[in-house]
């Protein structure tokens, strides 16, 4: 299951969404502002970040820009929660407009988790194949000597 960092200034929202996501089997970490979230992302490396756009210290859009500017964080999926009709001018995995059902958020997290597990398994498969080919070449060289 995925490790999720929830970022929201409203502790009631953090608690209720956190419980809902944890009940589905995911690990949940929380932050109450964008700067704290950025610090936690750099340390904990969650699988997905779910951040409100309206945050103190650093808002969700600035958090997304900071993550994209860091090459080690640029590929980390970010889901922005927002109110209002205008989509932010920043690249994110998904935008959920309030009010939204928590099941919609879970579907997005599951989609990210499936995508990441597929990437991890294909990477492992490539590494395994490369290691096997290397071992076959060494055995082949020994037999020809």
What is the DSSP secondary-structure string of 25-55? T-EEEEESSHHHHHHHHHHH--SEEEEESS-
Q: Where are the domains of the chain?
A: 3-144
Q: How confident is the model at residue 143 (pLDDT cuts 50, 70, 90)?
A: low
- What's the pTM value of the predicted model, to 2 decimals? 0.76
Distance CA 108, CA 105 (A): 5
Whether residue 96 contacts residue 69, with contact meaning beta carbons closer than 8 Å, is answered with: no
pLDDT digits 0-9 by tens, 73-113: 999 999 999 987 777 788 899 999 988 888 999 999 999 98
The predicted structure's pLDDT at residue 84: 77
* CATH architecture group of domain 3-144: 3-Layer(aba) Sandwich (3.40)
């Amino acid at each position: 299951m995925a490790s999720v960092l929830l970022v929201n200034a409203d502790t009631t929202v953090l608690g209720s969404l956190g419980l809902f996501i944890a009940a589905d089997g995911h690990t949940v970490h929380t932050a109450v502002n964008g700067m704290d979230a950025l610090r936690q992302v750099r340390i904990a490396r969650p699988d997905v970040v779910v951040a409100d756009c309206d945050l103190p210290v650093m808002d969700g859009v600035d958090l997304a820009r900071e993550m994209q500017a860091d090459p080690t964080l640029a590929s980390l999926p970010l889901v922005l929660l927002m109110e209002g009709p205008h989509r932010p001018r920043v690249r994110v995995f998904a935008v959920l407009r309030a009010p939204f059902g928590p099941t919609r958020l879970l579907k997005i997290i599951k989609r990210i988790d499936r995508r990441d597990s597929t990437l991890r398994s294909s990477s492992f498969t490539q590494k395994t194949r490369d290691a096997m080919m290397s071992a076959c070449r060494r055995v082949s060289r020994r037999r020809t000597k």
